[in-house]
Structure 1
Amino acid sequence: MRFQSRTAGISTPARLRPDRDALRVSACPACGSLFWKNCGRLPELRQTFGGLPVEVTLESGDLLHCSECDMYFREPYVSQSVLNGLYARLPATVWACDNPRPYWPQVLELMLRYSPNRTVMDVGCFSGSFLEWLPGSWRKLGIEPSAAARTIARDKGFWVCGSLDELVELSEHVGVMVLCDVLEHVVNPVAMLSILAGKLSPGGSLIVLTGATDTVPWRLFGCDYWYCSLPEHVSFLSRRWFQWAAIKLGMSIRWVRYLSSEPTSTAEWSRGLVRATAYTLARRLIRKGVSPGVVNKVPLLGRAARWTSPPWWRAAKDHVLIVLSTT
């Protein structure tokens, strides 16, 4: 049973679900605060993970917002141990990268500026495409839970472990760690950052790219936004959250910029905006009690109301690239 104040919008769940694989939080996973707001039901999930069918039932849950640290998170959802198992079984083809990502040159520039040495660790390196792209002057390390992808990365000559627990095997410290599109996959992002920060050299840095909840697209579309409809995404962060995390970790924010992770033409950007707006408006009208039959009669809204998931708007400026450094 969960008690919720409809007036204040603050809810505190009372207990864990009896199902050991699905977690219903009693506090914010990052800061432990009991003060969080229910922002609404998330879109129904396709029962896939990494685009592949899974045996574990994935419940869409609600989007909750912690007023203490500013993290948004999915609740209820499977535990981190179950997530780790799902990632471990992914084939090497799921997130294969044949071409450099648009933001890689910017990440390299930040590495050169904020790393005290030429040792880099790519957290979530998959098959090692980013490490392979980097200049040969860098010593290249990685973490990758997918066994198949990890094997490919190792075959390329990189030192790669399968989990944070295996970092104890690494005797050296790292100048810079890169986490591109990683933290949204983690139930407790600050715990991960704390472990990684412990392996940094003095003056070392964490470079993070993730979706940003303090951007205009997020504020417009909220729980109807495509980014929080993906079954792999469980945590959603902002600059304010990183400020909180930096204090918690004894680090400082050295650089920050908002960007699109997949920039494209103005025409494509506009089409994405129209589709996202139509989907969100249709869903909100139906939630307000407007008959689906009425919504279906409105041009574009009727079609959007029949979409089973939010349209992707990858061209949106909805990501943050941020550097945290040890002090």
Structure 2
Amino acid sequence: MEAPLLKDRIFSSPRLVPCNLCGTSACREIFPSTLRTPDEKADFSVFGSAGEHPPVVQCEQCGLVYANPPDDGEWLARQYLRTPVTHYLAEKGAREQTARADAALVCRHVSPGPVLDVGCSAGLFLHALPPEYPPLGIEPSVAAATEARKLLGEHAVINMPLEKTELPQNHFQAITLWDVIEHLSDPAGTVRHLVSRLRPGGALFLVTPDFGSLFARLTGPRWPHLVRHHLFFFTQRSLTKLLEASGLRVLSISTHTCHFSLRYLLERAGFLAVSPEGNGKKGHSPLMSAIVPVNLGDAMLVVAVKPSLPQGIGQTGFRCQRRCRIT
């Protein structure tokens, strides 16, 4: 029997919050809560919270879509601290393909210099960068940070939340947020903080689900990105507004391609039972291990630059390209 909806549950944070983009409190609910799992059994792993999310609302002033009320920030931090990395690494070969493509993108856009990856997980993206791009990763999960240090070195990974780290001002040539901004309790404040750590002419790269995409509109309440640990759901318009308010100039917004094994995709779709040990074990057919590119058009890849001169993009660090749009 299916567990009942927790309509009367006491949220870890029972307070309603104003819009993170414009500060307005007026909002309307667009998706009611589907939470069934009690807080003490919450699972933020790859397959852990599919189909469950708090109430999702839309700001009546600017249109930003977000979870309201969200879970308490300290409670969320504890969940991320203990999040496992088993299923993530079971897809290591596929994720390395995505990481190499993302690393090539960064190298095309910025000159050599230090790169900060916020939410670096097991460090695959940073490991894919060439030596002239010194890596630093921030990762709250103990398990993921441990794996990242095996690849990058002990001092290249900080195992704590971003807000507790001390980072130098105007230091990084590039900062990346791969599938991270939707998890943040204060994305606007976090982006402002990160912009101050970017060198003039440096660039911010991020990937996040696109709430305005055709696939999101067609699937509605069944959109796979409606999960408990996603607190914000951006459109191209709302994300551009947030980035520009933080002092960045958006250069391109395009869709993002990831790579997954066929078995992983069938597990995510519910056609196969999720393997406890992941996909990389003996006994799986070569067909199931085949890696395929996936692009449903509902993940946006954004490149934004920190101007070095008031009148526009400066020459320090950023590799200006006539064809900025990424395909």
Instruction: List alignment gaps of at least 5 residues for structure 2.
Output: 1-7, 272-293, 308-327
Say if 1:18 and 1:194 are closer, same or farther in 2 by CA, change over 3 A.
farther
Say if 1:29 and 1:199 are closer, same or farther in 2 by CA, change over 3 A.
same
Q: Distance in 1 between matches of 2:102 and 2:306?
A: 18
Q: Distance in 2 between matches of 1:169 and 1:235?
A: 25
Q: Which amino acid aligns with 1:84?
A: A
Q: Distance in 2 between matches of 1:30 and 1:261?
A: 28
The aligned counterpart of 2:23 is: 32
Say if 1:195 and 1:95 are closer, same or farther in 2 by CA, change over 3 A.
farther
| 1:72 CA drift (Å) | 1.3
The aligned counterpart of 2:4 is: none
Say if 1:213 and 1:264 are closer, same or farther in 2 by CA, change over 3 A.
farther
The aligned counterpart of 1:248 is: 245
1:167 corresponds to 2:165: yes
The aligned counterpart of 1:307 is: none
The aligned counterpart of 1:225 is: 223
CA contact (8 A) 1:184 1:234 kept: yes
CA contact (8 A) 2:21 2:64 kept: yes
1:237 corresponds to 2:217: no
CA contact (8 A) 1:114 1:176 kept: no
The aligned counterpart of 2:303 is: 323
1:192 corresponds to 2:193: no
Q: State the TM-score, normalized to the length of structure 1.
A: 0.70
CA contact (8 A) 2:100 2:128 kept: no
Instruction: List alignment gaps of at least 5 residues for structure 1.
Output: 1-16, 276-313
Q: Which amino acid aligns with 1:164?
A: L
Counterpart of 1:78 in 2: which secondary structure? coil
Q: Identical aligned pairs, as a percentage?
A: 24
CA contact (8 A) 2:36 2:52 kept: yes
Residue-by-residue CA offset, 1:102-154 (whole Å, 9 max, x unaligned) = 54344223312332432111111112122122223320111100123223323
Total equivalences in the alignment? 263
1:209 corresponds to 2:183: no
| 1:256 CA drift (Å) | 1.3
1:62 corresponds to 2:55: yes
Q: Distance in 2 between matches of 1:70 and 1:103?
A: 31
Q: Distance in 2 between matches of 1:225 and 1:53?
A: 15
Q: Distance in 1 between matches of 2:229 and 2:100?
A: 26
Q: Distance in 2 between matches of 1:207 and 1:147?
A: 24
1:90 corresponds to 2:93: no
CA contact (8 A) 2:170 2:196 kept: no
Q: Distance in 1 between matches of 2:52 and 2:15?
A: 11
Higher strand share: 1
The aligned counterpart of 1:79 is: 72
The aligned counterpart of 1:135 is: 130
Superposition RMSD in Å: 3.2
Q: Distance in 2 between matches of 1:225 and 1:42?
A: 14
The aligned counterpart of 2:93 is: 99
